Every structure is written in structure tokens, then in C-alpha cells.
Chains A and B, each alone.
Chain A
Amino acid sequence: MSKAKAGRLSLKLKSTMESVDEIEAAAEKLAVESGLDENERFHVAMAAREAAVNAVLHGNEYDPAKLVFASFENTGAALVMTIADQGKGLNPDSVPDPLAPENLLRGSGRGIFLIRSFMDEVHFRQLHPGTELTLVKQLAPAGKNS
């Protein structure tokens, strides 16, 4: 059952692991307040964390001069999260398929796959500079079991 629409939370953060934790916590709070079950809450928080790690580590490369921008909103119909960096940009089509046999033993490269697995919609937007990810989780209509 989805909760009532709430205001939008916007964050402007440094490129640090503490910011990744803050984004994960904000996503978890959004998920809890929306009435998602435990499994869905885990997925939403994890997807946000993975997007934040991409922004901090791969996008901004921990550059203290670059920021991460995140927003969190319950529209009533969906949870919508955006995470943006100020890096050189990411082409999601260039990320190797982590499930391909030749990639299975790679030490990295599963973040975007997990985001896509856990969220209903994932959109990439090039900001020049930077990349913005929009993550969408549909909410069950009020009155229906989730």
C-alpha cells in the first residue's frame, strides 16, 4: 500500500563515502515511509547506494572539487530518485554484461546491473559535464496488497 505523496528531498554532497551512506539512508527512509515491504526497501536502498558509488567513485573520482546531487520523491505513484555527478560522463551501453561468461569473474562492473534489476525504470541523462541517473520504483495503488 503506498503512502501519501510527500515533499521532495534534495541533497548536495561531497564526493565521499560518507555521502554514499547518506544517500543510501535517504533512500531507505523514502522506502520505509512509502510502505514498501522489507525486500523492496532493500532493493531501493541498494540501488541508490550503487548509483551513489558510481557517482562518487567512477564519476567524480573522489574529487573534492566535484559534487554529487541527489533527490528523493514519492509522487504517490512511484518513488523517484535522481543521483547526478560532475564527472566525464558515463555511457551505460559501454558497461560489459556482468552475466556474460567471460565477465563472470571480473572484480567489478555489477553496479548498473543491480540497479536495473532492482528498479522498475532506470534513465541515464548526460549533463555535460556529468551523468544523472533517475531511478523509479512503482508503488502499488492504495487499497491493494503490495
Chain B
Amino acid sequence: MALTIASREVNGVTVLDLSGRITLGEGSVQLRDAIRGLISKGQKNILLNMADVNYIDSSGLGELVSAFTTAKNQQAEVKLLKLTKKVHDLLQLTKLYTVFDIKDDEADAIASFK
């Protein structure tokens, strides 16, 4: 299943509802383009809703990291919401769990942005 991305605004935060697989190729490129597009338009608060992301490969992990560093370099923030168990375990295994701000509740996530 390819990656689909739906965008919505909640209290100044852009929530990207991701669904499918974030893998090398189309999925990772879509994610990269979506985040960079938001940052280039001046959006500083981006929340990736990962509840429906059932698979991510090492390239997808790399894109998440790139999104984090790109945002940070532009004084923006990218946070993660509702990781599935598989994605959670991968982030823990690769120690990326310590890099990202990860939330389980959307309201809490929205409120956490400065």
C-alpha cells in the first residue's frame, strides 16, 4: 500500500495524517516533499500522525530524521503521534526514539508545540 498524506490545521499546527508504508521510493519522497513544502511556506509546527503507518524501512527512518533536522535548522518542529508497535520498536532499536518528541494523544501533542 503506497503512502497517502492528508493535511489539516489544528490550533496553528499542521497535522499530516499518514497512511500506508514509508519506504524507499514514492513514499519517502512524498513525505519529504510534504514536510519541506510546509517549512518553505513558513509553517513551524508539524505533527506527523503515524497511527496508520504500518511499515517503515530504513529509508523511511532516514526521511523522518531528515525531516527533523530540516525543521530544526529552520526553527521549526516536527513531532510524531501514535506510533504503531512495529514503528515504535524500530525507533527504539535504532535509538531514534530518543531523538523525536513522540506523543500518544493528539490534543496533548498540539498543546506541546511552543
Q: Contact between A17 and B25 (Cβ–Cβ < 8 Å)? A: yes
Query: Known contacts being A98-B94, A99-B94, is A110 close to B99, with CB within 8 Å?
Result: no
- What is the count of residue pairs linking A and B with beta-carbon distances less than 8 angstroms? 50
Q: Contact between A53 and B59 (Cβ–Cβ < 8 Å)? A: yes
Provide the main secondary structure of the chain A interface.
Answer: helix
Q: Is A108 an interface residue (CB 8 A)?
A: yes
Residues of B contacting A53 in the complex (Cβ-Cβ under 8 angstroms): 24, 57-59
* Alpha-carbon separation in the docked complex, A146 to B68 (Å): 38
**Which chain B residues (79-99) contact chain A, with CB distance < 8 Å?**
86, 90, 93-96, 98-99
Residues of A contacting B57 in the complex (Cβ-Cβ under 8 angstroms): 46, 49-50, 53, 111
Cβ distance B66 to chain A, nearest Cβ, rounded Å: 4
Q: Is B62 an interface residue (CB 8 A)?
A: yes
Cβ distance B98 to chain A, nearest Cβ, rounded Å: 8
Chain B residues close to A by CB (< 8 Å): 23-25, 57-59, 61-63, 65-66, 68-69, 86, 90, 93-96, 98-99
